[in-house]
Amino acid sequence: MKAITQHTYGGSDVLRETGIERPVPGPSEVLVRVHAAGMNPTDWKHRQFAGFLDRLPLVLGWDVSGVVEAVGPGVTIHRVGDEVFGMLPYPYGVGSFAEYVSAPARALVRKPAGVDHVQAGALPLAALTAWQVLVDAADVQPGQRVLIHAAAGGVGHLAVQIAKARGAHVIGTASAPKHALLRELGADELVDYRTEDFTAIDPVDLVLDTLGGETAIRSLDTLKPGGRLVTIALGSLPADLAARGDALGVQAYPLLVEADQAGMQAVADLVTAGRLRAVVEAVFPLAEAAKGHDLGDTGRVTGKVVLTVAE
């Protein structure tokens, strides 16, 4: 099969379309013919350095939407021909930038019938991250105030929609040209981080931090007593962030996304209900994966970038 491989770390020029052996599904696994695979910042970061995956050669990609080609021993929830989508177990289950990928059966759910593979492939990792912050970690309730940093990014724009579906009052930080889109997605207040100070907003119950560093520290001052900051910026966290939170009477902790069938089904249900959609800035064929990485490297992607594989 064809796959996008790398034999060293570096810029997008390390990526090559090569022929590798097609995987065989093991016990409790399914083989998926990949139709679309979303790209995420963790892909360009792992292209540049080992991160969680200190192994080469490497096929990147965690998001997948496609059709079940074969099932391994013991699989009962999916059958050959089912259209499925989901996130390969993060971080070690990587490999969707290829024509086929094997995956644990329970990492995948049925693709909503009303959306195509590009839309479905854009969702899993980012939507699961947002769901696990807003629902599993923070249990956001109607009327609560939620601040989402980089609200037009991959995780951010989906978090806006999920928080709104939970009945929250949603505040997002983003550059002014992206405000109209975010209001369309459900944001109630918007802060232009280039010209406005987000700490001037009224206190919030939850901060979803996607940036880390000084932004995470300053965000602690926006929280109500007993509020929470959940950050996904594990690579740029101040070592004393939790202690700073404790001193202010708030909680601050990191979250790393996990494969989760119940979470994926919740995402699928929101999509089916018309409450959640991915904004897709660009689509590239598998052979042009490097172009997707180049776009991701700019740090200015609105929503998601997606690779298409099978027609």
**Minimal CA–CA distance to 311: which of 61, 99, 87?**
99
Q: Which of 92, 84, 91 lies closest to 65 in space, CA to CA?
A: 84
Cα distances (Å, whole numbers) of residue 234 to 49, 51, 125, 237, 299: 15, 11, 16, 6, 17
169-173 vs 189-191, strand pairing mode: parallel
Asked if 122 contacts 308 with a C-beta cutoff of 8 angstroms, the reply is: no
Contact 94, 59 (CB under 8 A): yes
User: Sheet harboring 58-59: ordered strands across?
Assistant: 15-19, 2-6, 58-59
Q: Is 134 helix (H, G, I), strand (E, B) or coil?
A: helix
Identify whether the C-beta of residue 98 lies closer than 8 Å to the C-beta of residue 3.
yes
CATH numbers and ranges of domains, the chain? 2-123+279-308 (3.90.180.10), 126-254 (3.40.50.720)
3-state class (DSSP) for residue 70: strand
Evaluate whether 271 touches 165 at the Cβ level (below 8 Å): no
pLDDT in tens, the chain (311 residues): 999 999 999 999 999 999 999 999 999 999 999 999 999 999 999 999 999 998 999 999 999 999 999 999 999 999 999 999 999 999 999 999 999 999 999 999 999 999 999 999 999 999 999 999 999 999 999 999 999 999 999 999 999 999 999 999 999 999 999 999 999 999 999 999 999 999 999 999 999 999 999 999 999 999 999 999 999 999 888 889 999 999 999 999 999 999 999 999 999 999 999 999 999 999 999 999 999 999 999 999 999 999 999 87
